C-alpha cells in the first residue's frame, strides 16, 4: 500500500461516483479478515482486531483491541490494569487498549486482499447506483436504442444498462432495427444478483399517458387530466380527458395547433390511431363519448350491474361496434361499463 495506490483508488471512486469512506472501510474490513487468516495465533480467531489505513499515505496499522480488566479471562482480548498502565498510566478498568500488532510482511497480503475487495465492492456499488437511478424512473418514459434481438426479446441500450423488451411488450408491426431509437415505458426495475434488470414496454397504456404529458403542457401542469386510457397497442387507443379550467378545452389541448401534438404521438407509435374523448361524471354522456367516432342516439345505464344499453342509428352500428368489435371493446375498457349496442331499427322491432 502506498500513496500511488491511494491516489488511484480516489480517482476510481470519483469517476464511479462511489463513497470514498465506503471503499476505505471495506478495505479495512477485508484486511482484518486477511490478518486473522494469515497471522492470528492459534485459538485467536475471535481476537478483536482493527485495521487503520491512512487515507493519504496508504500506511496500514493493525491493532489488537484489548479490554482493561481486573482478572484476565481471555488472553487474546483482555489486558490487566497493570499491563495497560505500563503503556499509559491513565488507563482505567473497562477502557480499551489498542496494541499495534502489524506483521512485518503484511503489505503484500494487504495489497492482494485490498485489490480483490475493491474490484468486488466497486462492482456492487455501480450496480446499486444504477438500480437506484432506474428505480426512480419506474413508470416513466425513456429513450433507448435497439442493440440486438433474439427469437423473442429485443435488447435496448439505455446508456448505463441494457433493458429487455419482451414479446408481450412489443408492438405488432414494429421491426426493431439495429440502432433504431425508441421511446419506451419502464414497467419494472428488478434488483437481481447480476444487478438491475429493467423491463420496458411499447404496448403499455402508460407509454401513451407519458407521451401526452410530454407533448401537452396543460396535462403536464395539471390543468388537463387524463382520466382513463384503453389501448390495443399498434392499432388503437382511447384516452378520456378532463379540464379543471372551464376556459381550456381538454380535447383541443391534446390535439394541439393544426393537430401537431397528437400527430407527434401517432408518429412515435407508428401510426396507431388515437381517439381523444371528453370525460364526464355522467355515465350516459361518458359512454356516448367513448364510442366516438360513432354518433349515439340514446344510453340507458343500470348502476347495479354496471351495464349500459346503447342505441345508434342504423348507419352508425358498424362504426360503433368497430372492426372485430374493437371500438366497443375499447370503450367498455375505458369507461369500466359493459356496453350492449343496438341499432334503432333493432330496438323498434323489439
Question: Are 226 and 273 in the same domain?
Answer: yes
| pLDDT, greater one: 42 or 204 | 204
Is 316 in contact with 287 (CB distance < 8 Å)? no
Instruction: State the average pLDDT over residues 226-235.
Output: 96
Boundary-marking domain end, from 245, 263, 279: 279
C-alpha distances in Å from residue 316, one per residue of 89, 293, 294, 305, 345: 102, 9, 6, 26, 12
Around Cβ 50, how many Cβ atoms within 10 Å?
Answer: 16
| pLDDT, greater one: 285 or 47 | 285
Question: Are 149 and 261 in the same domain?
Answer: no
Which structural domain range is residue 87 located in? 3-132
CA atoms of 166 and 154, how far apart (whole Å): 7
Residue 215 predicted with pLDDT over 90:
yes
Question: Are 35 and 56 in the same domain?
Answer: yes
Q: Which of 20-24, 83-87, 149-153, 271-275 has the lowest mean pLDDT?
A: 20-24
Quote the mean pLDDT of the chain. 91
Residue 106 pLDDT grade (very low, low, confident, very high; cuts 50, 70, 90) = confident
pLDDT for residue 1: 58
Q: Mutual orientation of helices 20-38 and 3-16 as an angle, nearest 10°?
A: 130
Alpha carbons within 13 angstroms on the beta-carbon side of residue 278 total 14
Spatial neighbors of 336 by CB under 8 A, at least 6 apart, are: 228, 306
**Residue 83: DSSP 8-state:** H
Residue 350 pLDDT grade (very low, low, confident, very high; cuts 50, 70, 90) = low
Residue 101: give its domain's CATH number.
3.30.1480.10
Question: Are 55 and 100 in the same domain?
Answer: yes
Question: Are 62 and 119 in the same domain?
Answer: yes
Question: Are 338 and 349 in the same domain?
Answer: yes
Question: Are 26 and 114 in the same domain?
Answer: yes
φ/ψ of 88, rounded to 5, equals -155, 120
Q: Mutual orientation of helices 283-290 and 326-335 as an angle, nearest 10°?
A: 150
Residue 110 predicted with pLDDT over 90:
no
C-alpha distances in Å from residue 9, one per residue of 114, 248, 257: 10, 57, 55
Q: Take residue 95 and report the three cell numbers written for it.
A: 477502557
Residue 112 predicted with pLDDT over 90:
no
Instruction: State the average pLDDT over residues 106-129.
Output: 81
Residue carrying C-alpha cell 358498424: 318
Is 131 in contact with 81 (CB distance < 8 Å)? no
**Residue 104: DSSP 8-state:** T
Question: Are 151 and 269 in the same domain?
Answer: no
Question: Are 126 and 150 in the same domain?
Answer: no
Question: Are 32 and 96 in the same domain?
Answer: yes
Residue 233: give its domain's CATH number.
3.30.300.20
DSSP letter for each residue of 176-225: --TT-EEEEEEEEEEEETTEEEEEEESS-HHHHHHHHHHH-HHHHTTSEE
| pLDDT, greater one: 38 or 212 | 212
pLDDT for residue 43: 58
81-104 per-residue burial string, b: 16 or more CB within 10 A, e: under 16: eeebeeeeeebeeeeebeeebbee
Question: Are 189 and 155 in the same domain?
Answer: yes
Alpha carbons within 13 angstroms on the beta-carbon side of residue 160 total 15
Boundary-marking domain end, from 78, 102, 132: 132
Instruction: State the average pLDDT over residues 210-231.
Output: 97
How many domains does the structure of the chain reveal?
A: 4
Q: What angle do CA 164, 168, 173 make, to 5 degrees?
A: 100
Question: Are 161 and 81 in the same domain?
Answer: no
CA atoms of 238 and 254, how far apart (whole Å): 12
Amino acid at each position: 500500500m502506498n500513496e500511488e495506490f491511494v491516489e488511484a483508488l480516489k480517482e476510481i471512486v470519483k469517476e464511479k461516483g462511489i463513497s470514498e469512506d465506503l471503499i476505505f472501510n471495506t478495505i479495512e474490513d477485508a484486511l482484518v479478515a486477511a490478518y486473522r487468516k494469515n497471522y492470528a495465533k492459534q485459538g485467536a480467531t475471535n481476537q478483536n482486531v482493527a485495521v487503520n489505513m491512512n487515507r493519504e499515505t496508504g500506511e496500514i496499522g493493525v491493532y489488537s483491541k484489548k479490554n482493561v480488566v481486573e482478572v484476565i479471562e481471555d488472553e487474546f482480548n483482555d489486558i490487566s490494569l497493570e499491563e495497560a498502565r505500563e503503556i499509559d498510566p491513565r488507563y482505567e478498568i473497562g477502557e480499551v487498549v489498542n496494541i499495534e500488532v502489524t506483521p512485518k510482511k503484511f503489505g503484500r497480503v494487504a495489497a492482494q486482499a485490498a485489490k480483490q475487495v475493491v474490484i468486488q465492492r466497486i462492482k456492487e456499488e455501480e450496480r446499486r447506483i444504477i438500480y437506484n437511478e432506474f428505480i426512480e424512473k419506474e413508470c416513466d418514459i425513456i429513450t433507448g436504442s435497439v442493440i440486438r434481438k433474439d427469437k423473442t426479446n429485443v435488447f435496448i441500450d439505455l446508456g448505463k444498462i441494457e433493458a429487455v423488451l419482451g414479446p408481450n411488450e412489443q408492438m405488432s408491426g414494429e421491426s426493431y432495427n439495429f440502432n433504431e431509437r425508441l421511446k419506451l415505458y419502464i414497467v419494472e426495475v428488478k434488483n437481481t444478483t447480476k444487478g438491475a434488470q429493467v423491463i420496458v414496454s411499447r404496448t403499455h397504456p402508460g407509454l401513451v399517458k407519458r407521451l401526452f404529458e410530454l407533448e401537452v403542457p396543460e396535462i403536464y401542469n395539471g390543468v388537463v387530466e387524463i382520466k382513463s386510457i384503453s389501448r390495443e397497442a399498434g392499432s388503437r387507443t382511447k384516452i378520456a380527458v378532463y379540464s379543471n379550467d372551464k376556459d381550456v378545452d381538454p380535447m383541443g389541448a391534446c390535439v394541439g395547433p393544426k393537430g401537431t401534438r397528437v400527430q407527434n404521438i401517432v408518429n412515435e407509435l407508428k401510426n396507431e390511431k388515437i381517439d381523444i374523448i371528453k370525460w364526464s361524471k355522467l355515465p350516459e354522456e361518458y359512454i356516448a363519448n367513448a364510442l366516438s367516432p360513432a354518433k349515439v342516439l340514446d344510453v340507458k345505464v343500470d348502476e347495479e350491474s354496471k351495464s349500459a344499453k346503447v342505441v345508434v342509428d342504423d348507419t352508425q352500428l358498424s362504426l360503433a361496434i368497430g372492426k372485430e368489435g374493437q371500438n366497443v371493446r375499447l370503450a367498455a375498457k375505458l369507461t369500466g361499463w359493459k356496453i350492449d349496442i343496438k341499432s334503432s331499427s333493432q330496438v323498434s322491432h323489439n
